[in-house]
């Protein structure tokens, strides 16, 4: 082997060996971090509350279209819940009717303004049989907070309609995308519940053609 070929072999060996060492070091570092911080923590991959959650909580309070009653609530979960409800899950699309305030429809090129007066109060018709439910706090409910939370989780996980309003279609909700929401984490569901507990009660916008029996235009 001539001198030039020997130098090339040595250089190549050094590069490959260096890459192998570097790869081992990187893997060990990741493993050490997981061992140190706990990979399965509910607060993120490395055992502490993700910085992204802080941004979501802050943004959640910025985009909440109604006054929030934080008394007795977990403030961080309320903010996170607002972010999920208003920026991710699209709850307003079905449960607020009309979706937008006058002159606030972004699909008409107008600056977006949510219909705060009927926010999440339901009343949107879906064909001749279904209408979105009112998911604002019920001032006449006799259920405890924990009972309401367990019912909420059951709805989100199973789609079982606690009111049984449409027995001709079976016991499950037919329009709400609970089959998507059922895969959310427990913490996300708790955050949504916390947020929905903090918004004010509202009544649906009713029209003569609305099939909701609770509507009285």
Query: 93: closest CA among 174, 176, 216?
Result: 176
Q: Which residue has the higher pLDDT, 206 or 164?
A: 164
SS (H, E, C) 65-97: CCCCCCCCCCHHHHHHHHHHHHHHCCHHHHHCC
- Spans of all domains in the chain: 1-48, 51-198
pLDDT tens for each residue of 69-105: 999 999 999 999 999 999 999 899 999 999 999 999 9
Query: Which pLDDT belongs to residue 19?
Result: 36
Following DSSP, what letter does each residue of 11-25 receive, concatenated?
A: HHHHHHHHHHHHHHH
Q: Give percent above pLDDT 70 in the chain.
A: 71
The C-alpha atoms of residue 87 and residue 67 are separated, in whole angstroms, by 17
What would you report as the CA-atom Rg of the chain, rounded to the nearest whole angstrom?
Answer: 26
Residues ≥6 apart with Cβ < 8 Å to 186: 42
Q: What is the dihedral of CA 147, 142, 122, 64, to 10 degrees?
A: -70
Query: Which pLDDT belongs to residue 144?
Result: 93
Q: Is the pTM of this model over 0.95?
A: no
């Amino acid at each position: 082997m001539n001198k030039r070929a020997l130098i090339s072999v040595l250089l190549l060996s050094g590069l490959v060996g260096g890459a192998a060492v570097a790869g081992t070091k990187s893997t060990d570092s990741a493993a050490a971090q997981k061992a140190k911080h706990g990979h399965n923590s509910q607060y993120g991959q490395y055992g502490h509350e993700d910085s992204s959650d802080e941004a979501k909580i802050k943004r959640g309070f910025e985009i909440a279209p109604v006054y929030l009653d934080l008394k007795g609530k977990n403030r961080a979960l309320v903010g996170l819940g607002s972010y999920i409800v208003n920026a991710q899950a699209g709850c307003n699309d079905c449960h607020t009717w009309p979706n937008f305030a006058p002159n606030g429809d972004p699909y008409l090129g107008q600056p977006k303004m949510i219909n705060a007066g009927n926010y999440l109060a339901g009343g949107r018709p879906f064909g001749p049989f279904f209408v979105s439910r009112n998911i604002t706090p019920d001032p006449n409910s006799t259920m405890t907070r924990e009972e309401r939370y367990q019912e909420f989780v059951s709805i989100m996980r199973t789609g079982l309609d606690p009111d049984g309003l449409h027995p001709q279609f079976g016991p499950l909700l037919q329009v709400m995308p609970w089959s998507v929401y059922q895969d959310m984490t427990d913490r996300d569901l708790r955050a949504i519940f916390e947020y929905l507990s903090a918004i004010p009660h509202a009544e649906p916008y009713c029209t003569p053609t609305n099939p909701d029996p609770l509507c009285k235009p």
